[in-house]
Amino acid sequence: MKSTFHHVALIGKYQTLASGASGTSSRSALEAILQFLETQGCEVVIEYDTARNMGLTDYPILNVSQIGTQCDLGLVVGGDGTMLGIGRRLAAYGVPLIGINQGRLGFITDIPYDNFATSLTHMLQGEFEEDHRSLINAKVMRDGHCVFKAVAMNDVVVNRGATSGMVELRVEVDGHFVANQRADGLIIATPTGSTAYALSSGGPLLHPTIPGWVMVPIAPHTLSNRPIVLSNSSHIAIEIVSGRDASASFDMQSLASLMHGDRIEVTRSDHHVRFLHPKGWSYFDTLREKLHWNEGVPTT
């Protein structure tokens, strides 16, 4: 059967040529997937940095913006970090993404490499579940000027310095004062990011369909400062009141050495990331597998 997707971009974890959790090197994995896509009648291109770092020069090469305007599917090979990076950059173009997991956890790259051919055969023929994930726009304001801005799929995190004590943060939501929090930091997470740093800091899991964010203090001085779920239409502002060497990170994008008076402003992005999953995929299946729920409990 002819593939539903004609022009497919392959994006890999190109920072290293080491083997992934599957034991297969990143280059070997990409080559195997390339050959498979060709047997399915797909016209395959390779993302520029992937091709350059892997030495895969026998296929057409496109940069991310060209993929966004020319391709109708992105196939991402690696772990969740790889998917986070490319998802943010392709969201504005609406290109759907499929994740093949060569990492260890794989909340959003959910197809095991060892099973990619079986899963992709059906998905390329239009048998898939579609899942949309929201994004955060964030910027750092200093003396009325924007000094840094970024888009995040997981979270925005304000942290204390590595060698200093707590930071004090003034938090506002939609212009309303919430609290001055003394803590090791504060996390604003999307539903996607609720299974990342926010979870390890005691935050709740948010289903991807919930139009909300979770705000989670990191080791707060006052234990009554608890995680709170907010609407993702909110405008959140976090001001640095005191504390040395505070930093802000937006997924893996960081700004160090925040100054007193700096404001990190968080709003909802107009774009979202489109993920495709195998037919029958369930978010709860992912949680059960990745968080090891039901271990030792007999199933029926």
pLDDT of amino acid 297: 63
Helix (H, G, I), strand (E, B) or coil at 80: helix
Environment class of residue 294 by beta-carbon count within 10 Å: exposed (0-12), middle (13-18) or buried (19+)? exposed
Residues 113/29, Cβ–Cβ less than 8 Å: yes
pTM of the full predicted structure?
0.91
pLDDT of residue 18: 44
Interatomic CA distance for residues 181 and 193, integer angstroms = 21
> Three-state DSSP class for 116?
helix
DSSP secondary structure code for residue 83 in this structure: H
User: What is the rounded CA–CA span in Å between residue 244 and residue 264?
Assistant: 16
Tell me which fold the domain 135-269 belongs to.
Answer: Tumour Suppressor Smad4 (2.60.200)
What pLDDT shows up at residue 17? 42
pLDDT at 295: 77
Class of domain 7-126: alpha beta
Amino acid 26: pLDDT: 80
Domain map of the chain by residue range? 7-126, 135-269
Q: Which residues are marked as active site? A: 80
Q: Which two tokens stand for residue 243?
A: 């504390």
Structure tokens at 36: 């498979």
CB contact at 8 A, 194 and 153: no
Residue 49's H or E segment, with its range, is helix 48-54
pLDDT less than 50: residues of the chain: 16-23
User: What pLDDT does residue 13 have?
Assistant: 72
pLDDT at 296: 66
